[in-house]
Structures are given as C-alpha cells and as structure tokens.
Chain A
Amino acid sequence: MKSQHNIQNKVRTHRVIAGMTQAELANQIGVTRQTILSIEKGKYTPSVALALQIAEIFEVRVEDLFQLIKEDNHE
C-alpha cells in the first residue's frame, strides 16, 4: 500500500470573497499573476512563507487555505 498526499486549496474562494483580482493579490505579496493562477489551479504548491503571506492578506489561518487530502492507493 502506498499513501499519497494531495493539497487542496481555497485561495480562489477567499480571493473572490475579498473582492480581489489575481493581479492585486500578486502585487500585495510580490509574485507574478501567473504564480497566483498556478496556485489556484493546484498546479503549484507555494512555500510555507508564501502560504503564510497569503493567509495574512485574507486574515485566515493557513489551514483554512490549504488542506492535506490523504489518498490510499492499493497496489
């Protein structure tokens, strides 16, 4: 049996609730808009530092933004 961990994120949901564009969020944390887009699509998992920065902007905990989903693969 092999365990795999996937990370699900709610960055897009929190950004929409905050009424921000991707560009505005990107400007606030000093990254490119493509980085925000990739995080929202789940294509890129940010570093702890960047995750903390995003959580601070939305005034939520990192755990509210990123959740670990454990999947068991039976071989």
Chain B
Amino acid sequence: MNRHGPRSWPFSKIQVFSGILVIAGITLASWNWWAFILVALGAFGPGILRECGWLHDKDEFQLQADRRAGFHAFLVTGVVSVILIACQRASDFLQTSHEGLATLVFTVLWVTWVFSALLDFWGPKKTARRILACFGIGWMVFAIASNVGNEWQGWQPLVLHSLLPLPFLVIAVTVEWIPRISSLILLGMSAYLIHFFGWFQRDNMSFANQAITFVLFVVPLIGCGIALLFVKQDSEEQMDDKALDTGKT
C-alpha cells in the first residue's frame, strides 16, 4: 500500500519482487522449463498469501478491484475455454498442441485479470496511459536491442525502428485531453497492427501461438480503445486529480 504521497514510487516491494519472479521464470524457461514454475509463484503467490490473511499490502478498494477482476477473468476464460473445446472436438479447425491451447487459456486468464484490475482501480484514462506507455517503451527497447544485438547496420535503421512505437507514446499523452479521439486513433492503429503483422494469416506459426501474441499485444490496446470510448464527459469526471489533491478546488 502506498502511504507516502502521490509522488512516491508506484510499485510496492511485493509487486517488484513478484514481477522479478515472473520475468525470471519466463526468461529462464528457455533454458529449463522447470524454471517456469517461478511464474506461478510471482503471478499467484501474493494473491494466495492475501487470501490466507498473511499479507496485508493492499487496501479494501484494491482488494475489491482484484476480486472483481478475478470474476471477470473467470467469465472470459470460461467462455474462451468452452469455445476452444467445442472447436477442437467438433471440427479440424484447431489442429494445435494441447500445450499451446493451455498456454493460450492461461494468457487469456492473465490478460483479462490484469486489464480488469487496472481498469477498476485506475479508471480508463490512467489505465490506457500506463498500458500504452509500457507497450511503447517495451517495443522501443526491443527495437534498440535487436538492432544493437544483431549485426550493426548503422544509425538509420536503429532510429527508424525505434520511432515505430512513437505514436503509441503520443496517444499515451493525448488520452488525458482528448480521450474519445485518442480511442478512435488507437482502435485504427490496432487494426493496422493486425494487418501489418499478418495475424492469423501466417503459415509458419501455429494458431495457438498467433492467438497468444494477439491476446498479449493487441487485445490490451483494443481494450483501452473501447474503454476510452465510454469515458464520462460530465463535470465530475473532468475534475483534475492534481487539483483535487491540493484541497483548494
């Protein structure tokens, strides 16, 4: 729980530690799949400790957001699982491995939970800002790392590839003032991403792997776009958080 005012570090020690466990689990899985168990410890460990009453790092509003998100994840994952079972048993549309489908179901569960919890706690604008910033910065770091890591081809490709995620970072800023226009641009950009990367049209990737990358990278963007469409424009919603915080408004 953040008890040090609005300018403090936004993540608690528990969140940082569980994040490190998740990243370590995913990274080390390429070396040994037993290390993937670290992901379970990081993603679900703190929640289990909270439910057992051994960890008290969240206030009641945060816990409510977590529990509602859990219910949303249950509903979405339930529907997706039933559809996948039906597709696999009724037709030969899903000729993919069980391991791939299990990973897809886990990805849907996790993405739904994270998105719903953020939306409930922060609201559409702040959630979109954070997701777009993470997406943009993540893509930028990936672009720089792949340019520097591979054979050096000069500054021009490095700069050009690094500029690709810039529109997402710009929208992360504009959602504060023009949420509906930003949401329409974001939805358009998501549609372009689907077309640009050729999702569900690739022969070299299984359906499950294409669906996993789609759920991880595109669904949150579409979710932000849709959530921003419904931002209330009434006077109460327009109240600036910082102005409220001063107690002088």
Contacts and interface: CB of A to CB of B under 8 A. Distances in A.
Secondary structure dominating the interface of A = helix
B6 A33 contact: yes
Contacts of B59: 30-32, 35
B248 interface: yes
Interface of B: 1-6, 59-62, 64, 121-123, 236-237, 239, 241, 244-249
A21 B241 CA distance: 11
Contacts of B60: 31, 35, 46-47, 50
Contact of A35 (B62, B244, B246): B62
Given A21-B246, A21-B247, A41 B64 contact: no
Nearest to A12: B244
A34 B248 CA distance: 18
Given A23-B6, A27-B5, A33 B64 contact: no
Interface string A24-43: 00110011111101111111
A15 B247 contact: yes
Nearest to B122: A34
B239 A20 contact: no
